């Protein structure tokens, strides 16, 4: 048996263990560890970023295969602009290459591409690539792949507050209308379900300014694996761990059991 066949068999065994009725609708991933992966191998950081793209492809593949409806990837944060210019330029180049390369696959597999963040910060060529993939996949319905680019949750929340204030001053909304649901409509993620599961790789235990409002009741999963080492089976193991948890949303276990009986 080849290595690929063995890996496929292992994946299928994990898939068979999943409860298809309890899959998360929306998975969000903080893809961390590309630089450390390269450093451990005495390679330039760009080698880690290139290897990380393969893990992106693996995550999209397995999510599409098992029927996950939404996948959001923290691809480039606002804070990442502070990295060395050469690294940022390389990341932008890799991003543009990925978008152009994956467009055909997204069309073929009925995946809609969505992007959140300050798109105006991106190089013009990347903006054009983003606009094209969004436009040409907008009618796809099987899965939503969201890329968070030049994204920061505090900035997103601040912009949402400004938007609400502007509409309030213009008389478009009344003070009494402002609640959590309305606030969510002003966020970048409007129209998406809140994440059920957030995965962070590389052994770091923090959220790093990602979807702070949206993950209020999200299950968190941390792994020491660096992002380029995170493959299909690792995501499946995260899902199996997720399915062992009891999501109470403030209720007691007895209340949940009573609901299920009814």
H or E element: which one contains 130? helix 124-137
Catalytic-labelled residue, pool 80, 140, 209, 233: 80
H or E element: which one contains 30? strand 26-30
Backbone angles phi, psi at 209, to 5 degrees: 60, 40
Catalytic-labelled residue, pool 16, 19, 32, 110: 32
| 209: annotated active-site residue | no
Q: Cβ(54)–Cβ(73) under 8 Å?
A: no
Backbone angles phi, psi at 220, to 5 degrees: -105, 135
DSSP one-letter string for 42-71: T--HHHHHHHHHHHHHHHHHHHHHHT-SEE
Would you give the end-to-end CA distance of the chain in angstroms?
A: 49
H or E element: which one contains 35? helix 34-40
Q: Which residues of 204-220 are buried (b: 16+ CB within 10 A; e: fewer)?
A: eeebebbbebbbeebbe
Rounded CA separation 39/24 (Å):
34
Q: Cβ(148)–Cβ(116) under 8 Å?
A: yes
| 32: annotated active-site residue | yes
Catalytic residues: 32, 80
């Amino acid at each position: 048996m080849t290595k690929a066949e063995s890996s496929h068999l292992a994946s299928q065994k994990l898939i068979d263990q999943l409860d298809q009725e309890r899959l998360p609708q929306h998975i969000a991933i903080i893809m961390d560890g590309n630089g450390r992966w390269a450093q451990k191998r005495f390679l330039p950081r760009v080698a880690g970023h290139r290897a990380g793209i393969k893990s992106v492809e693996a995550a999209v593949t397995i999510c599409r295969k098992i029927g996950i409806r939404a996948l959001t990837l923290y691809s480039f944060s606002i804070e990442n602009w502070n990295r060395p210019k050469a690294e940022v330029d390389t990341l932008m180049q890799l991003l543009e290459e990925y978008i152009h390369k994956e467009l055909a696959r997204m069309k073929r597999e009925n995946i809609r591409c969505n992007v959140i963040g300050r798109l105006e910060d991106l190089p013009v060529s990347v903006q054009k690539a983003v606009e094209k993939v969004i436009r040409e996949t907008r009618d796809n319905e099987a899965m939503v792949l969201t890329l968070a680019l030049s994204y920061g949750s505090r900035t997103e929340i601040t912009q949402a507050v400004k938007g609400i204030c502007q509409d309030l001053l213009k008389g478009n909304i009344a003070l009494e209308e402002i609640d959590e649901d309305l606030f969510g409509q002003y966020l970048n993620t409007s129209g998406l379900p809140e994440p059920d599961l957030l995965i962070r790789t590389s052994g770091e235990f923090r959220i790093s300014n990602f979807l702070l409002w949206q993950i209020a009741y999200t299950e968190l999963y941390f792994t020491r694996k660096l992002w380029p080492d995170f493959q299909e089976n690792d995501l499946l193991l995260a899902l199996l761990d997720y399915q062992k948890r009891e999501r109470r949303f403030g209720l007691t276990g007895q209340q949940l059991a009573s609901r299920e009986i009814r």
